[in-house]
């Protein structure tokens, strides 16, 4: 008897799946364990294996199309079996070679249409249309931060084609084809939706003026195809204000990774440096020998170079800085969180005297150096074990209680804020947490984080203590239901055993989504966290 296979739910947030590719055609034999299709979810593309044996009699979703979870994906049964009752009386897609051929042609046409966004001309032989890739599960639009190949350049498989700025990071995009770059569908600095034309590669001299002329890419492709080099240069000069040029220049300065990190730590403006390395590359000694001029003294005295890109002040002159893709998405997400989740805030003051002593003892061990932030992350992860309601997410008609404790640590970058995630934080040691935070924070500032390193958080922490901020509140990083704001450790008079003594205190603020975390629940979580920080040995119990 024929079996109906429905669109599977491959992630907890998936409501619809898209068939990226069929590995079996109607009429093919299918064995248990065979890959039936590649299903694109809201997070990734996954192989979908058959759990039954038989012949593929019906395809319910064409390649390139999407369908709701639990709708008919395919039907498998005995060859020649009547499945009209299972398909609502419609003729099976596979009766006869002509029907199968027609289905393949329709699928191919649909796939080509999706790939080039309904191009107005047939793609010439040997030409490959490259679309804007989806580099993160939440990405809907990409921005070309920098082109590494110009129109007319020879491109080999593996060559760096462009740097794509997503809603989370800037990632290198490599070519998968050999040929000549015939067309740029998006200008450098311009943005385009996912799956619209990014570039066209093919044999030199091929006319592709009519390919990819759909509306989403029309504005940018028109300029880049008529006069590739000259027009692009003119457009950038005319359209980009000086403020944007200065904001993006730091991404294009030739500098070694070590020198870049040193410059960020010291607050050095790398745009004002002349490198002594090969081809003017800025190296370590250039940062070490840097002496700030008087006019930049104020800027470099800032507590951290990770803060927002400095803007030059000119008396009586207004300037503009176009938003980066990262900042646009940050604005969108924070607005959605603030206006949809009913925030409330709980604050508590922690005595950090014992935590300070514990940190000294831990750092006295060989090859060990942890920060107070590492201790707070560890204590928070263990506290979440005892209060799983705080480690939950709102999902409309239900609350999802997360099975893993993944702490997102807010890191400031010039374009705004990113939240790299420590997976299974409750199972990590102090040294593992310290190494993980340092590694991801460093790569976040140099835009070296991968998209999957910023996904899957169940709780977030934001620390502004290093800036001397005593207390503040944060906006929840959805789908989390809470975020912890950490202030500075302040030395001040406190009452201890009826006596006024000098103590070290730190204020914590917990922002909660009232739909998930009630006031008493949030308060109990903070009580547990206070116990762990004021008595660090309790973390070992």
Positions annotated as catalytic residues are: 514, 518
- By the 10 Å C-beta count (0-12 exposed, 13-18 middle, 19+ buried), 470 is classed as middle
**Four-point Cα dihedral 351, 357, 360, 362, nearest 10:** -100
The phi-psi region of residue 140 (left if phi > 0; otherwise alpha if psi is between -120 and 50; otherwise beta) is: alpha
The two three-digit tokens of residue 383, written as one number: 């506290």
Q: Which of 119, 5, 114 is nearest to 69 (CA)?
A: 5
Please give the full DSSP string across 434-458, using - where no structure is assigned.
HHHHHHHHHHHHTT---GGGGS--S
Q: How far apart are CA 333 and CA 327, in angstroms?
A: 10
Q: Do 25 and 56 touch, CB atoms closer than 8 A?
A: yes
Please give the full DSSP string across 318-342, using - where no structure is assigned.
----PPPHHHHHHHHHHHHHHHHS-
Q: How far apart are CA 248 and CA 225, in angstroms?
A: 24
CA 55 to chain centre: 40
Q: How far apart are CA 212 and CA 284, in angstroms?
A: 45
How far is it between the farthest Cα atoms of the chain?
93
Q: How far apart are CA 516 and CA 393, in angstroms?
A: 7
Q: How far apart are CA 177 and CA 110, in angstroms?
A: 22
Within 13 A of 4's CA, how many CA atoms are on the CB side?
Answer: 14
Q: How far apart are CA 254 and CA 439, in angstroms?
A: 22
Q: How far apart are CA 400 and CA 389, in angstroms?
A: 9
Q: Which of 371, 339, 335 is nearest to 355 (CA)?
A: 371
The two three-digit tokens of residue 200, written as one number: 């066209």
Give the angle 484-168-260 at the CA atoms, nearest 5°: 95
Q: Do 134 and 168 touch, CB atoms closer than 8 A?
A: no
33 forms beta bridges with none
Lookup result for tokens 């500075």: 488
């Amino acid at each position: 008897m024929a079996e109906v296979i429905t669109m599977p739910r491959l992630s907890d947030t998936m409501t619809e799946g898209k068939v990226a590719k069929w590995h079996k055609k109607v009429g093919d034999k299918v064995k248990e364990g065979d890959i039936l299709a590649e299903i694109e979810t809201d997070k990734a593309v996954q192989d979908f294996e058959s759990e039954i044996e038989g012949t593929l009699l019906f395809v319910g979703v064409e390649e390139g199309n999407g369908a709701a979870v639990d709708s008919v994906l395919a039907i498998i049964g005995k060859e020649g079996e009547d499945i009209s009752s299972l398909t609502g009386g419609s003729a099976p897609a596979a009766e006869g070679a002509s029907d199968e051929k027609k289905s393949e042609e329709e699928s191919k046409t649909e796939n080509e249409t999706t790939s080039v966004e309904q191009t107005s001309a047939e793609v010439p032989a040997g030409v490959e249309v490259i679309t804007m890739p989806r580099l993160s599960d939440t990405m809907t639009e990409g921005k070309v931060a920098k082109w590494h190949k110009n129109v007319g350049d020879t491109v080999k498989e593996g060559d760096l084609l462009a740097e794509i700025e997503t809603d989370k990071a800037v990632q290198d995009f490599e070519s998968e084809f050999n040929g000549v770059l015939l067309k740029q569908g998006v200008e450098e600095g311009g943005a385009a939706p996912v799956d619209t034309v990014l570039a066209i590669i093919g044999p030199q001299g091929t006319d592709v003026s009519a390919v990819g002329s759909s509306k989403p890419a029309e504005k940018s492709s028109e300029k880049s195809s008529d006069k590739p080099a000259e027009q692009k240069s003119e457009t950038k000069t005319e359209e980009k204000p000086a403020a944007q040029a200065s904001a993006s220049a730091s991404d294009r300065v030739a500098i070694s990774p070590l020198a870049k990190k040193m410059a960020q730590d010291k607050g050095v403006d790398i745009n004002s440096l002349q490198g002594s390395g090969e081809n003017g590359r800025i190296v370590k000694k250039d940062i070490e020998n840097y002496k700030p001029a008087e006019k930049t003294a104020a800027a470099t005295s800032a507590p951290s170079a990770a803060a927002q890109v400095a803007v030059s002040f000119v008396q009586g002159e207004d300037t503009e800085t176009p938003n980066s893709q990262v900042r646009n998405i940050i604005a969108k997400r924070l607005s959605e969180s603030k206006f949809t989740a009913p925030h409330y805030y709980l604050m508590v003051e922690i005595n950090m005297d014992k935590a300070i002593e514990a940190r000294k003892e831990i750092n006295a061990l060989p090859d060990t150096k942890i920060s107070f932030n590492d201790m707070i992350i560890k204590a928070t992860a263990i506290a979440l074990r005892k209060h799983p309601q705080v480690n939950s997410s709102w999902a409309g008609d239900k609350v999802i209680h997360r099975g893993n404790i993944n702490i997102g640590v807010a890191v400031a970058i010039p374009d705004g804020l990113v939240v790299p995630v420590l997976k299974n934080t409750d199972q990590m040691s102090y040294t593992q947490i310290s190494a993980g935070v340092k590694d991801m924070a460093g790569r976040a500032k140099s835009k070296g984080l991968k998209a999957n390193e910023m996904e899957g958080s169940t709780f977030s922490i934001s620390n502004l203590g290093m800036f001397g901020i005593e207390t503040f509140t944060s906006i929840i990083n959805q789908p989390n239901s809470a975020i912890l704001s950490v202030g500075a450790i302040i030395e001040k008079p406190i009452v201890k055993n009826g006596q006024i003594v000098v103590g070290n205190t730190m204020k914590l603020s917990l922002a909660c989504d009232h739909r998930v975390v009630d006031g008493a629940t949030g308060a109990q979580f903070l009580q547990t966290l206070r116990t762990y920080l004021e008595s660090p040995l309790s973390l070992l119990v």
